Amino acid sequence: MFGCITRKFRVHVADPPADVKAAYAKYAGTSGSEMSAEQLVRFLVEFQGEEVCSVSDADRIIHNVLDRRQHPTKSTRQGLTLDDFFHFLLFDDLNGPIRSQVHHDMTAPLQHYFIYTGHNSYLTGNQLSSECSSIPIIKALQRGVRVIELDLWPNSAKDEVHVLHGRTLTTPVSLIKCLKAIKEYAFVKSPYPVVITLEDHLTADLQAKVAEMVTQTFGEMLYYPESRSLEEFPSPEALKYRIILSTKPPKEYLESQPPRERVNGSQTERYSSDEAGLGKESEDQTAEPDPDDKNDTDQDDDDSDGYESKSCQLGPPQYKHLIAIHAGKPKKGLREALRGGIDKVERLSMSEKELQRAATYYGTDLVRFTQKNLLRIYPKGIRVTSSNFKPLIAWMHGAQMVAFNMQGYGKSLRLMHGMFRSNGGCGYVKKPDFLMFKGPNNEVFDPKTVLLVKKTLKVRVYMGDGWSLDFSPKHFDTYSPPDFYTKVYIVGVPADSSKKKTRVIEDDWAPVWNEEFTFPLTVPELALLRIEVREHDKTEKDDFGGQICLPVSELRPGIRAVPLCDEKGEKYKSVKLLMRFQFV
């Protein structure tokens, strides 16, 4: 018994894997005991596949490593020993699996990008009774989210604007508080534009108040076109540090409403509802109804306002003018809207269930539509716990705005985090060319077509480290060290999806697996590498030991330090894996 109790404190330092020793011997040579800056450059370029690396870059790396290791002779050292070299490979900020800078072309129109999009961005928890707050908005912007959704409703006196999930028990937050939070945090993570999608349930006078609040809060940050609507979307580069509003313009909504009466002095006049200035983005009307799906209703996209207009005055033109990205409503059904030619670019929205139906019956029309316009997909209404759907089907069809509940932690949100680690985490990811361009016969990409293997990814999982620093000795097992194993997934088009698993390493805080897995990929541009470490438990559910999701198209070849995150996507301080990525 006493031997078992003391085992949990036994933490050994793993030796460098054989591949690390071989790489050091190859590039450092056998004549000396240190790897020079010139030799490190050769390793980085030839073995790690770095495109640009100078001797001065390598020299800075060497001094950085020596400083961190607090080497007693660092002032006289000019190179790395094998142990120094091994530790350099384990520093994820110096040797991470993906690039940390923006490197995609940012000069294409907005529809050429996947955009990091939130759903009901003000909710702190579930969709029915949680608190509304500016804090989730701030957290989303700090993570790099570029599309914030606000549901606008009048207060009980109908003289102020609240943000809340309508017809639920969610407690409201004031619109001005949300706007101020957006202004303060919009560009802390990324300089590229923030789109605010408005779910508008307001009267004309409150729309005027919104226009005033928006213009006073954002000032010159606010972007809106000189003409009534855009004929082509600008690029993220052209819209740096700008705020953009997107909703259905009031007139579009009201043209379909029946005439009402208004009293003007002693005269009674008939007037059409497009004069009233009411507006609401009724997104559940963007797809054809499914008579067999009675549960697929989305409360925040209900088409009825639930109250009468308070004001009889005309809708303020400045409010309409501030809407840069118009949210449209198909007048003859979604399929006709996708196939028909339109002069002005716009944004359409549909639920995840509607997307599934559209993908089944006319997927190529979706792809063709998104080559010019924006498509937003939101969670179906029955996801009251703020869960999310699998985003790959939306990305496969070119949907730019896949709206997620950022508080809905789970596997789907991890995939979203993974996709938007791309391109330096700036919130805009350039879509693959095959989704944006037509073929010689005007054909577009068909997501149903099974393609040939384009490239093969080899993943070697060498070892893990850092749990003894980030977790208590008794976190996994009370009387013994943990028993770790690693699961490696490819999530992508159906033909590419795959799952592998290492063996369990028993009683070791620094497990060494040294196992390699091979993944043939037909559409590597849309593939995500999901990694999860578990601690094996013979009697209960295996414990969580860390996870991360990485875009395959962004993986840097070579031996890399892969940092792991907790279940909410927050990076651990020390926990990481040492892995190797190769494309063949």
Exactly one of 104, 119, 397, 417 is catalytic; name it.
119
Give the Å distances, CA to CA, from 322 to 153, 207, 223, 373, 577: 19, 11, 8, 19, 48
328: helix, coil or strand? coil
Q: Is 165 an annotated catalytic residue?
A: yes
Q: What is the 3-state secondary structure (H, E, C) of 488-554?
A: EEEECCHHHCEEEECCCECCCCCCEEEEEEEEEECCHHHCEEEEEEEECCCCCCCEEEEEEEEEHHH
Exactly one of 162, 165, 397, 417 is catalytic; name it.
165
Q: What is the 3-state secondary structure (H, E, C) of 268-316?
A: EEEECHHHCCCECCCHHHCCCCCCCCCCCCCHHHCCCCCCCCCCCCCCC
Start-end of H helices in 411-479: 411-419, 433-436, 467-470
Calpha distance 223→219 (Å, rounded):
9
Q: Is 321 an annotated catalytic residue?
A: no
Calpha distance 49→34 (Å, rounded):
22
Closest by CA to 555, choosing from 513, 515, 525, 575, is 525
Buried/exposed code over 373-407 (b: 16+ C-beta within 10 A; e: otherwise): bbbbbbbbbebeebbbbebbbbbbbbbbbbbbbbb
Closest by CA to 28, choosing from 86, 96, 91, is 86
Token pair belonging to 403: 């709206």
Give the Å distances, CA to CA, from 479 to 186, 542, 546: 48, 16, 21
CB 145 within 8 A of CB 117: yes
Token pair belonging to 377: 């997909």
CB 391 within 8 A of CB 433: no
Token pair belonging to 492: 């992508």
Q: What angle do CA 108, 114, 119 make, to 5 degrees?
A: 135
Contacts of 52 (CB under 8 A, 6+ apart): none
**Positions marked catalytic:** 119, 165
